[in-house]
Chains A and B, each alone.
Chain A
Amino acid sequence: MIEGIFVDGLIFSIMALGIFISYKIMDLADLTCDGSFATGAAVAAVCIKSGLGITLALILGFAAGALSGMATALIHCRLRIPGLLAGILVMTMLYSVNLRILGGANVPLLGVKKFYTEVPRILGFLPSEWASLAGTIAIVLLMKGLVDLFFRTDLGLSVGAMGGNEQVVISQGMNPETLKVIGLGFSNGLIGFSGALLAQYQGFADANLGTGMVVQGLAAIMIGDFLFSTNRISLLTLRVILGSIIYKALMYGGRKYGYLVGITPNDFKLLTGLLVILSLAVAKARSGASDRGARRKAMDKVAAKANGGCNADA
């Protein structure tokens, strides 16, 4: 059972990484996610159904998500409408697109080769649930590595700089629109990939798969924020993954033991939202405190240096 939570949380964490890119790094609240997650799932399901293979299904899931994100970025930049509205538009339009791709409300993936039937077969020496977990960990590490690497490249740094201050990239002769298209493309690519993986794990793709995903992803990111503080990309992404697993574990706990306090799964959306609000409130209080802390640390450093200088003179 515990393996189930981990697999669930890890698949979910790839989506959370996507939201992390748009929300945290690019400072853009992108709601495309609710649509692109299901698009990735739908594309992968149809691919697998038509025998194109698992690898291609995952790649095309990523590509479909990336295209959705780019669409949002282009609408946002070209028509100069707020990113939030652009995301809502694309998300809403994608719902119809997803129904078209699926050819109905859902596509079951029973009795076909998929990631979570093939991995246990290859790793035959492990119990099938543990084999699934191992396969998922490998995929998540690959995706994490990809994100870490991207944000170390010059292009990735520029996307990060744009999130901090758009004027900086303009001053360096870069078109911020291009950077937004690339950033949101990558972000939603990961989200689509996550959907493509989830469809194979749960054995079906559904047009409603993405509903409420943004808020859940934000909750996971914010849980991660509480774990430790850092400004290194590899630790930031690790934090997102850990936060996702904890979030899924909390939800599992809620499903299993919630009845004791009268909570049903119907309340989860409310609780997730409240969790996000609470996290934001705590983070705000903490950032004030840590600003003061950082200033004190810097002052101490200067003081220590001054003392050191005096000692050297003496």
Chain B
Amino acid sequence: MLTLEHVTKVFYPGTVNEKLALEDISLTVEQGEVVCVIGSNGSGKSTLFNLISGTYPVTSGRIILDSKDVTHQPEYKRAFTIGRIFQDPTKGTAANMSVEDNLITASRKGMRGLGISLNDKKRAYFRELLGPIGLSDRLSDNVGLLSGGQRQALTLLMTVLSNPSMILLDEHTAALDPGNAATVMNLTQKYIEKYSLTAVMVTHNMQFAIDYGNRLIMMDEGQIIFDVSGAEKKKLTVERLVQIFKEIKKKEFATDRGLLAI
């Protein structure tokens, strides 16, 4: 379970470039929930992920993961519970190493010792895992030789291999062609079900956000402006979603005008 309590992030505080990226976000994601996050560019989705996974420190507020305060924990420690997949397919794998070396590196969490884990038994296991993504005969090829779609599928496999309880997917199919994107997305859904993962997923595809998962969050200008789950979410349509977005924006605009008038 993930809880954010009044989390705020300000970039370059005290300078002319000061930017409020996230404003007083409070959010609770229950175990097993699959949350789709939508919002325009610059609305704070990626910043939110960076704060949850610990890439950036928060400016204020608290982050609680599985009832433990992780606000000041470094990224690599939070990685024990959080798996993260980036939009850029090159970010999740080491291109200079073979597929099997990447998999063995990803097969568990934490610092390693001088043991040698890679053996024929492991190789057979990896071959089996790689079957669904069509890479079983490429164990000893360097990852740099794989295509973007293959790398992203491998990243996904590497992420679930070490058993995180929660995964953050940052538009992880956006850089792929439609065919590969569909394959990787199907794989994602399969893994989420198979390992009963909690997932938070950023997507630009509104229809997908409506169809998939059991909760939808809309972000705008560093705030969560709409949060819907369960039966209410099922009833949504893309048109309705756009309408809601416009209504919320208009209300703000109106109050702004009201303020200026005074």
Nearest to A179 among chain B residues (CB) is B111
> Which residues in A have their C-beta under 8 angstroms from that of B77?
173
A173 near B97 (CB under 8 angstroms)?
A: no
Which A residues between 148 and 163 are near B, CB-CB below 8 angstroms? 150, 152-155, 157-158, 160-163
Q: Which A residue's beta carbon lies closest to that of B117?
A: A154
Q: Mark A142-183, 1 if CB is under 8 A from B, else 0.
A: 000000001011110110111111011111111110100000
Interface residues of B, dominant DSSP: loop
> How long is the Cα–Cα vector from A252 to B119 in the complex, in angstroms?
44
Least CB separation from B91: chain A residue: A167
| B105 contacts A by Cβ under 8 Å | yes
Judging by beta carbons under 8 Å apart, are B114 and A153 in contact? Answer: yes
Does B8 have its Cβ within 8 Å of any Cβ on chain A?
Answer: no
B140 contact set on A, CB distance < 8 A? 231
CA A163 to CA B95, docked complex, whole Å: 10
Cβ contact within 8 Å between A153 and B93: no
Contact of B94 among A152, A154, A161 (CB under 8 A): A161
Which A residues are CB-close (under 8 A) to B162?
172-173
Tell me whether A174 and B101 are in contact in the complex, defined as CB-CB below 8 angstroms, given that A164-B96, A294-B145 are known contacts: no
Closest to A166 in B: B94
Chain B interface residue count, Cβ-Cβ cutoff 8 angstroms: 39
Contact in complex: A172, B113 (CB < 8 Å): no
Q: Are A161 and B112 in contact (CB under 8 A)?
A: no
State the Cβ distance, A115 to closest chain B Cβ, in Å.
27
Q: Does B87 contact A (CB under 8 A)?
A: no
Q: Which of B55-100 contact A (CB under 8 A)?
A: 74-77, 79-80, 83-84, 86, 90-98
Given A157-B105, A158-B105, A294-B145, residue A174 in contact with residue B112 (CB < 8 A): yes
* Contact indicator B94/A172 (Cβ below 8 Å): no
List, in ascending order, chain A residues with CB within 8 A of B94's CB.
160-165, 168
| Residue on A nearest B82 in the bound complex, by CB | A171
Chain A's interface size range is 20 to 34
- Encode contact with B along A99-138: 1 for CB under 8 Å, 0 otherwise: 0000000000000000000000000000000000000000
- Are A157's CB and B145's CB within 8 A? no
Instruction: Convert B199-211 into 0s and 1s, putting 1 for each residue whose CB lies closer than 8 angstroms to a CB of A.
Output: 0000000000000
Is B258 an interface residue, CB under 8 A from the partner? no
- A178 contacts B111, CB within 8 Å? yes
Contact partner of A171 (CB less than 8 A), chosen from B79, B97, B108, is B79
Nearest CB in chain A to that of B88: its residue: A167
Interface contact B104-A173, CB-CB below 8 Å:
no
Cβ contacts under 8 Å, A174 to chain B: 76, 110-112
What is the 8 Å Cβ interface bit string for chain B, positions 105-123, against chain A (1 contact, 0 not)? 1101111111111100000
- Cα A27 to Cα B95 in complex, Å, equals 12
A163 contacts B105, CB within 8 Å? no
Given A170-B79, A172-B79, A175-B74, the answer on whether A154 and B112 have CB atoms closer than 8 Å is: yes
Task: Tell whether A306 is near chain B: CB-to-CB under 8 Å.
Answer: no
B152 at the interface (CB under 8 A from A): no
Residues of A within 8 A of B96 (CB): 27, 160, 163-164
Please, how many angstroms separate the alpha-carbon atoms of A160 and B200 in the complex?
30
How many angstroms from the CA of A174 to the CA of B80 in the assembled complex? 9
Contact across chains for A167 and B92 when beta carbons are under 8 A apart: yes
Asked whether B112 lies within 8 Å of A158 as measured between CB atoms, the reply is: yes
For this complex, 8 residue pairs linking A to B, each with C-beta atoms less than 8 Å apart, are A154-B114, A160-B97, A161-B105, A168-B92, A172-B109, A173-B109, A174-B76, A231-B98
- Which residue numbers of B lie inside 8 Å of A, CB to CB? 74-77, 79-80, 83-84, 86, 90-98, 101-102, 104-106, 108-118, 140, 142, 145, 159, 162
Counting from the closest, the 7 A-B pairs by CB-CB distance are A164-B94, A154-B112, A173-B109, A164-B96, A161-B94, A155-B112, A173-B79
Besides A171-B79, A173-B76, 16 other A-B contacts (C-beta < 8 A):
A27-B96, A155-B111, A157-B101, A157-B104, A157-B118, A160-B96, A163-B96, A164-B96, A165-B92, A167-B91, A168-B105, A170-B75, A171-B106, A171-B159, A172-B108, A174-B112
